[in-house]
Amino acid sequence: MTVHIGAKPGDIAETVLMPGDPYRARWAAETFLQDAKLVNEVRGMLGFTGTYKGNRVTIQGSGMGMPSLSIYANELMTEYGAQTLIRIGSCGGMQPHVAVRDVIIAMSATTITSPSSGIFKEINFAPTADYALLAAAVAVAKGKNTTTHVGGIYSSDVFYSERPDLDEQMVRHGILGVEMEAAELYTLAARHGRRALAILTVSDHLQTGEALPSEDREKTFGDMVEIALDAAFT
């Protein structure tokens, strides 16, 4: 048990999926895992452990933003021995060829700042995904009826951005989408020698203003979760 995770020793699997929304964690566990058991509910940040095709998996909510994710990822790695951590969540599309409902597999995550920024001082550390996990996810995605993109994303530390000039530069440099957690996850995984990946569903688009209707999200998010689970055990 840690300050933020009430799970007992052995309750957390070595493979952990991390949606931001704790209720999405519950939905994913009930939908994709067998014998899912609630292992954490401290501060309402739900976590479940069950099996997927015979493999133990934990699905633990991370909260919104890099500071929140940093707390849970740190504790999962250092106190519970998590080895593979995959963020599953939504993002905003930034490129014209990236459409709502598409899935982005994040090769790298650009950010202005994160909870880890202070330790690097003048260095601009480049947070990247684990290559083997990335390659496995790409291979799995080819078998899905979902348009998938692989490339860089932007992890923002604000939800309501007032920097259109920054968005323009992200688009100019090929960034596929924007979200709020992956850069810190990739940095922590590098620090602790773990595997990390972010697989994201495009739920809205910064250029077109289109947004995914709530009734359509479950099916599309399901594809993302299946890609994450199958990639983890490839």
pLDDT at residue 1, rounded to an integer: 85
Q: What is the pTM of this model?
A: 0.96
Q: Is residue 4 annotated as involved in ligand binding?
A: yes
Is 157 an annotated catalytic residue?
A: no
Q: Which domains does the chain have, with CATH numbers?
A: 15-232 (3.40.50.1580)
The answer on whether 41 is annotated among ligand-binding residues is no
One-letter amino acid for residue 61 of the chain: G
What is the predicted pLDDT for the residue at 218? Answer: 67
Determine the pLDDT at residue 15.
98
Residue 145 is predicted with a pLDDT of 86
The reply to whether 179 sits in an annotated binding site is: yes
Q: What is the dihedral of CA 176, 155, 203, 41, to 10 degrees?
A: 150
DSSP of 148-207? EEEEEEEE-S-SS---HHHHHHHHHTT--EEESSHHHHHHHHHHHT-EEEEEEEEEEETT
**What average pLDDT does range 99-128 have in this prediction?**
94
Name 58's Cβ contacts closer than 8 Å, sequence gap at least 6: 11, 12, 13, 15, 16, 17, 39, 47, 48, 49, 82
pLDDT of 98-110, one tens digit each? 999 999 999 999 9
Dump pLDDT digits (tens) for 162-221: 899 999 999 999 999 999 999 999 999 999 999 999 999 999 999 999 998 877 776 679
pLDDT in tens, 39-92: 999 999 999 999 999 999 999 999 999 999 999 999 999 999 999 999 999 999
Question: What tokens does 129 get?
Answer: 């995904």
43 marked ligand binding residue = yes
Q: Which of 102, 130, 167, 204 is catalytic?
A: 204
E strand or H helix at 37 = strand 34-40
